[in-house]
Structure 1
């Protein structure tokens, strides 16, 4: 495997604080490497599928050279959280024993505001292409899921992408979809170079790269009670979805261009 896709594994030592209300209940935590991470828990609302989306979306962003804080696998020990006073958080931590996902915490970062920061046409087009490719419904004016840190733009939170996997039906149809929700993308007005970016990104991504990315999904995230498919079979569906979508990228690129 290309080392660019290898993730470090850290052990969570201290739960600091929940970050916002909502079903995913992410939290700020400190690990045994003395760094702080935004943790996404497999015991939260959408379970391991949100972590898989976060992992695949982040790994694809990394492969395309887009700015993303470091992703790590975050191990929660069996005893972790027993002393937590909040019962909801204690349950979340108990249900999340094992591997979770962490995003390096960018201390002092501020939420991207399109009224304050103008993103250049190339970067805007690259991010719009990424989100149309991975069907990310959550980079809108209401919730930009981008940060400004040291005067640079950083992408965060891809847990809402690849939403086909919540039903796991007709993935072929989803792979060929135009992704009409791209019309709500916060950077779409600046994304005037989609054809150029499409040509470039189709060279950077290929079945081998996508295979390496999908191979990083931990086995324990692919043991679904609602499915009789093996881990290898589930991985292959993700891979075929991404390959099909890449091979027919003109469908979602044209949708984005028309939406502009």
Structure 2
């Protein structure tokens, strides 16, 4: 990853339709670069914190060579959506003016079906490891947040990761602590190579990478949560959480192995 990492920025030109599968009501939209995107709104659900999680989770996954659709900043003009007939959607658009986040739309992709689709055990183990690192609660049988596209598995929707940001003062405890929710992970039964995944993935990440990613987050997203008025302090917490969490990789890998033994 370059030392001047940043996302492309596109302008949303057309709201096509809501994707009501997600609780945050994402949408399919056109942008001025000619591509379609799944648009995640800053005015929905957990607001900007969900976008921060989406950004960090997705780009960390990409750094680990896992498949993630391209992420872009998506600018929503204040005039956008005034003609929208659905009041709920109109309110969402009004509350999402400015920079949002979008994922490149994978046309023709299908949802991963854990009952019908087997994947490589090392890949499964890598994805479980990623979700342990970022404390992602939302990759379950109920909602896998994975797509099959061109015969490859793609990861989407990391907006429910980084639980610590919803209880800001306990971030160190969250970085060091167990993550028992991993027992519900959809890929845990297939993740038979967790130790190997840990050995492969841990060296790919470091403090410098985390700082680089965090530095690319928009100030307005970071300040919106009201956790601090000092954007430098907020960035430091995110990067230090990830750096500290990484030092506990051996422990959380063993935690997942122990959880897996109860399933098999």
Q: Which runs of 5+ in 1 are unaligned?
A: none
Shift, 1:23, TM fit: 4.0
Q: Distance in 2 between matches of 1:22 and 1:70?
A: 19
Where does structure 1 differ by over 6 angstroms across 4 or more consecutive aligned residues?
A: none
CA offsets, 1:122-166, max 9 Å, x none?
100100000011000000111100001111111000000001101
RMSD of the alignment, in Å? Answer: 1.4
Map 1:83-98 → 2, pairs under 5 A:
83-98=83-98
Q: Which residue of 1 aligns with 2:8?
A: 8
Q: Which residue of 2 aligns with 1:70?
A: 70
TM-score (norm 2): 0.95
Instruction: Report 1:137-216 matches (<5 A).
Output: 137-216=137-216
Which residue does the alignment assign to 1:37? 37
- What secondary structure is seen at the aligned counterpart in 2 of 1:14? strand
The size of the alignment, in residue pairs, is 260
1:54 aligned partner:
54
Aligned 1:113-124 pairs, distance under 5 A:
113-124=113-124
CA distance in 1, matches of 2:22, 2:114: 24
Q: Give the TM-score, by structure 1 length.
A: 0.97
Looking at structure 2, the residues matched to 259 and 202 of structure 1 have their Cα atoms a distance apart, in angstroms, of 20
Q: Offset at 1:169? A: 2.2
Q: Runs of 5+ in structure 2 lacking a partner? A: none
Supply the distance in 1 between the matched residues of 2:5 and 2:155 (Cα, whole angstroms): 17
Work out whether residues 138 and 145 of structure 2, in 8 Å CA contact, stay in contact via their aligned partners in 1: yes
1:178 offset after TM fit, Å? 1.7
